[in-house]
Amino acid sequence: MKIDIHTHTRKCKSGDAPTREITPEDFCAVLTSTDVGIIAITNHNVFDLTQFERIEQLIAGDLQVWPGVELDVVDNDGSRGHLLIIVSPKLAKQFSTELLKLAANATPDEFTATIEEVLLAFDKLNPLYVAHYKKVPMVSESVLEMLESKTKNKNQVLKEVTNAISAGIYISHGHASIYGTDIHDWRKYKELSTGLPDLRLPVDSFEHFCLLLRKDPTTITTVLDRKTSEKIVLKPFPDDSALTITIYNDINVVFGPKGTGKSCLLKAIARHYSENGIDARVYESASDRLDELFDVKGRDLAINLNDYGINYCTNEIESLRNAVEVDVTSLSKYLNFFESKRTNKNAKRIKIKDIAPEEEGSRKRSFSETSAANQKVAEFLEFLYGSASVKNELSAEELSSVAQTLSNLLARLGRRKWEEFLGWKETVMLNSVIKIFRSEVARKTGMPELPTTTGFREYAINRIGIEMNSAEIIKGIDTEIPQQRDDVGSLGTSKGRLEYCTAFHFQNGSVSDSTLYSLSKVKKTPQKDFANYVRRIRNSTYSPELFQLIADLNEIEDVESIKTIQELLLFRRYFSLGGVSYSPSSGEASMVMLQKELGTERDVYILDEPERSLGNEYISDVIVPMIKDRARAGKIVFISTHDANIAVRTLPYNSIYRCHGGNGYSTYIGNPFTSDLVCLNDVDDRLDWRDISMKTLEGGKEAFGERGNIYGRS
Amino acid sequence: MSEEISMDVLKAVVLALDDKYIMEIRFGDFIASIPLSEDKPNEVKAAFNKLIVRLKGGPFQIELDDCGEDLFSQVSKEYLVQLNREIKEVYGEMKSNGLLNV
């Protein structure tokens, strides 16, 4: 959730841009399209109570709108500075009255007030004062000093700077600073709002915000406790001493000088969760393991061909390899029959030649088709009666009508199926009787029987089967499988995003790419031979060399291992940047490994010095947002770090500080909100979180304060 | 029914070459030869292969030209009765498996 303490909804002064003017309706529409959760309306020297009340009515509690004003405050020397006065929405009417009284009919262009007048009018409303500081027109140091000394709520005086970098620097120097959009053109608000400060802790109201500003420990603890926390007991160190720490399902930072046992602590945390059945392991940067991590060699690579509509061709390959030639009927059988008939007196009396066998195939096909249709309709009817969705959609009358039509169809198909079954079986029996009859007559008369088939049918069906099987295999291996492209992560704003590509290709007989590996144990040469033989078989199905080719196919090395076309798959896995193959450097490897770790769904993330090999900019722009995102999702994140970017910018709910002093090793626990670090063994032993962070994390206090990147870039 | 009407008819003849008899089925530039007086299964298979390939272009039946009453004519007549029945059946199989050229 973001906060904007400085906005304008009205063109009040003559110098105000007309694009500052916005209707309550548009104001609400714009705000709801952003992540802003708290907004203060601070027009120049004017508070429009009617507009404020209309906005409150429209916004209906979806976000907090705080009433305020941006006043021209004058110093003794007559110089003007701008001071925002923001009050609780509960006091909007009172605030309006006080402002009207103070303005005393002066126009917004004419209006000025001294700090004494401001305090007299508003301090009783416990407002938030936000003074322009290093931002024109700036409130003078003398006015600011007077404000801080005379207000009853010193903690509620903030300094408004221009951006996040300035805020970070001034905060590090002890100035409570903040910034808002000071919007000039509402059409740009959505874009500008992305740079507003994030509220790390939930803020319920204006009053709650003021309590948090005071760093009131009770208020902060109450807020922190809204997150799930648990106490865990660890024995991370060789002396077996127990360490009880409270951890949050948010960011838990472990920091401190080198050699103070931070890594041991992380390992103990991982052990604790693993023993409780939660997948937890310590992530350590190891750029040399990138290929292993991404399984570039494809040891665990698998693919389901059905996902791509590709037939594995198990039956086709088996049938093709086992195919044998079918013999045709010898012509001499016909000759023998007719020669014998001429010489045999009985032959003339036997009318066997008049009985011709009938075709069985078409009758069988008709029966099969009708039978399949019958079954489908029966299944659909059953589905219709059983489906709650159908019953919800159709009235009882409509359902009955549809069911009646389908029942009639089912009955007709049932009758047809039976008739076709009878017809088919009649033919089968007739042909069988003819065959037996011929055989018996031949046996009793001594006359050779007339063959019932030339053998053409069986011969053709066999070859057709071979053609179909080989064609199906070729169809499969000629299929192109779309390349899988997975986003690995960003290599920074200048380089772009790294992708991890997995390309699959079937060895179709013409692939000769040395960068491709076989997905199975079958070597590449037998794969290629197999594909080529199947292709030749398909092209020679109706030629005399067909069975020689099948025999050759069966002679291929390891052919027994090719049971499906999956054994003909080749693959290549590689990284790609901008569509071109790319080898990440060791630093880039660290980047993507960390992103992969944070991108993997876990309940607990344990990162040991994730900043190793990474640049500040990258940590700021990519890693910190990812860590925050995991925390927002309610994950427990432990980070051992020496990097202020991570330890400070993530504003951890929990900071665990390890150090070594005269009394040996010590552990302190605290957070940036109270700015306290409390020793686990002595609650009176306290350190300042900010001071310790600055001292411990990447250099001294000065460097910490001056480095803009710690706080974000404008 | 329309398929019956448009069905091609291929002509077959029985030829005597010296003491050997063959049945030749002619279509386009092709000739499928079936030896009648000798058992030559490979030649019969070669003829069948041609008929299967031809069948992909559409159904047909084979008719015997100048049919006499000699032994080889009788054999050819009976052989073609059976062959035509089987051709029809194989055509049906090819059609249902999508193996036709059209």
Residue type, A320: L
B85 CA: distance to closest CA in chain A (Å): 6
**What was the pLDDT predicted at A171?**
62
Return the residue in B20, B42, B49, B91 with the most chain A beta carbons within 10 A, the one to mutate for interface testing. Answer: B49
DSSP state of A479: P
Mean pLDDT of A180-196: 93
- Position with higher pLDDT, A221 vs A623: A623
What are A489's strand-pairing partners? A498
Q: Is residue A707's pLDDT more than 60?
A: no
**Contact predicate A307/A621, CB 8 Å:** no
**What was the pLDDT predicted at B1?**
41
**Contact predicate A275/A269, CB 8 Å:** no
Provide the pLDDT confidence category of residue A315 given band limits of 50, 70 and 90: very high
Token couple for A586: 């060791």
CA-to-CA dists, residue A305 to A481, A482, A530, angstroms: 9, 12, 19
CB atoms A327 and B41 under 8 Å = yes
Please provide the average confidence, as pLDDT, over all residues in chain A: 87
Provide the pLDDT confidence category of residue A714 given band limits of 50, 70 and 90: very low
Q: Is residue A570's pLDDT more than 90?
A: yes
* A368 exposure class (CB count in 10 Å sphere: 0-12, 13-18, 19+): middle
Long-range contacts of A699-703 (CB under 8 A, 24+ apart): A701/A172
**What was the pLDDT predicted at B36?**
93
Chain A residues touching B37 at Cβ < 8 A:
331, 335
B20 CA: distance to closest CA in chain A (Å): 13
Q: Does A225 touch chain B (CB under 8 A)?
A: no
CA-based end-to-end distance of chain A: 19
CA atoms within 13 A on the CB side of A286: 8
**Contact predicate A160/A131, CB 8 Å:** yes
**What was the pLDDT predicted at B3?**
46
Q: Is residue A185's pLDDT more than 80?
A: yes
Distance of alpha carbon A281 from alpha carbon A604, whole angstroms: 8
Name every residue whose Cβ is closer than 8 Å to that of residue A99 and which is 6 or more positions away in sequence.
A46, A47, A69, A121
A417 CA: distance to closest CA in chain B (Å): 19
Provide the pLDDT confidence category of residue A447 given band limits of 50, 70 and 90: confident
- Position with higher pLDDT, A674 vs A85: A85
3-state secondary structure of A293: helix
Chain A residues touching B92 at Cβ < 8 A:
361-362, 365
**What was the pLDDT predicted at A522?**
93
Chain A residues touching B82 at Cβ < 8 A:
356-357, 451-454, 456
Nearest CB to B93: which of A454, A461, A542?
A461
Q: Is the dihedral of CA A448, A449, A453, A459 positive or negative?
A: negative
CB atoms A334 and B52 under 8 Å = no
b or e along A503-538 (b: 16 or more beta carbons within 10 Å of the residue's beta carbon)? bbbbbbbebeeeebbbbbebebebbbbbbbbbbbbb
Provide the pLDDT confidence category of residue A656 given band limits of 50, 70 and 90: very high
A331 CA: distance to closest CA in chain B (Å): 6
- Position with higher pLDDT, A255 vs A710: A255
Provide the pLDDT confidence category of residue A463 given band limits of 50, 70 and 90: very high
Which of A355-364, A407-416, A436-445, A575-584 has the lowest average pLDDT? A436-445
Q: In angstroms, how far is CA B13 from the centroid of its own chain?
A: 10
pLDDT, tens digit, 9 for 90 and up, residues A321-376? 999 999 999 999 999 888 876 565 655 565 655 577 787 888 888 899 999 999 99
Q: Is residue A115's pLDDT more than 90?
A: yes
**What was the pLDDT predicted at A146?**
93
**Contact predicate A498/A577, CB 8 Å:** yes
CB atoms B93 and A330 under 8 Å = no
Those residues of chain B whose CB sits closer than 8 Å to some CB in chain A are: 34-39, 41-42, 44-46, 48-53, 55, 71, 74-75, 78-79, 81-83, 85-90, 92-94, 96-97, 99
What are A667's strand-pairing partners? A658
Token couple for A84: 């925002």
pLDDT, tens digit, 9 for 90 and up, residues A522-559? 999 999 999 999 999 999 999 999 999 999 999 999 89
Distance of alpha carbon A421 from alpha carbon A433, whole angstroms: 18
Token couple for A544: 């005399």
pLDDT, tens digit, 9 for 90 and up, residues A582-620? 988 888 888 888 888 888 889 999 999 888 878 777 787
Provide the pLDDT confidence category of residue A193 given band limits of 50, 70 and 90: very high
Provide the pLDDT confidence category of residue A1 given band limits of 50, 70 and 90: confident
pLDDT, tens digit, 9 for 90 and up, residues A217-275? 777 777 777 777 888 999 888 888 888 998 888 899 999 988 888 999 999 999 999 99
**Contact predicate A130/A84, CB 8 Å:** yes
Q: In angstroms, how far is CA A697 from the centroid of its own chain?
A: 33
Percent of the residues in chain A that have a pLDDT greater than 70, as a whole number:
92
Q: What is the ipTM of this complex?
A: 0.94
Mean pLDDT of A160-182: 71
Mean pLDDT of A418-443: 82
- Highest mean pLDDT of the ranges A251-260, A282-291, A561-570, A584-593: A561-570
**Contact predicate A157/A705, CB 8 Å:** no
- Highest mean pLDDT of the ranges A111-120, A283-292, B67-76: A111-120
Mean pLDDT of A512-531: 94
**What was the pLDDT predicted at B35?**
94
Distance of alpha carbon A594 from alpha carbon A286, whole angstroms: 10
Which of A22-26, A40-44, A587-591 has the lowest average pLDDT? A587-591
CB atoms A328 and B90 under 8 Å = no
Nearest CB to A461: which of B50, B79, B90?
B90
pLDDT, tens digit, 9 for 90 and up, residues A90-112? 999 999 999 999 998 899 999 99
Return the residue in B87, B93, B96 with the most chain A beta carbons within 10 A, the one to mutate for interface testing. Answer: B93
Token couple for A498: 């790294």
What are B10's strand-pairing partners? B62
Distance of alpha carbon A464 from alpha carbon B55, whole angstroms: 12
Chain B residues touching A464 at Cβ < 8 A:
52, 90, 93-94, 97, 99
**What was the pLDDT predicted at A174?**
63
Q: In angstroms, how far is CA A70 from the centroid of its own chain?
A: 44
pLDDT, tens digit, 9 for 90 and up, residues B78-102? 999 999 999 999 999 898 888 888 6
**What was the pLDDT predicted at A87?**
96
B34 CA: distance to closest CA in chain A (Å): 9
**What was the pLDDT predicted at A706?**
42
**What was the pLDDT predicted at A259?**
87
Q: Is residue A503's pLDDT more than 90?
A: yes
Which of A114-123, A254-263, A685-694, B14-23 has the lowest average pLDDT? A685-694
Q: Which residues 336-375 of A are in CB contact (within 8 Å) with B?
A: 338-339, 342, 353, 356-362, 365
DSSP state of A239: T
Token couple for A307: 């996902």
Name every residue whose Cβ is closer than 8 Å to that of residue A83 and which is 6 or more positions away in sequence.
A70, A71, A73, A115, A118, A129, A130, A131, A132, A139, A143, A147
Q: Is residue A170's pLDDT more than 70?
A: no
Token couple for A187: 């059409």
**What was the pLDDT predicted at A164?**
64
Which of A165-169, A335-339, A362-366, A571-575 has the lowest average pLDDT? A165-169
**What was the pLDDT predicted at B102?**
64
Radius of gyration for chain A, computed over Cα atoms and rounded to the nearest angstrom: 42
Provide the pLDDT confidence category of residue A287 given band limits of 50, 70 and 90: low
CA-based end-to-end distance of chain B: 18
**What was the pLDDT predicted at A401?**
92
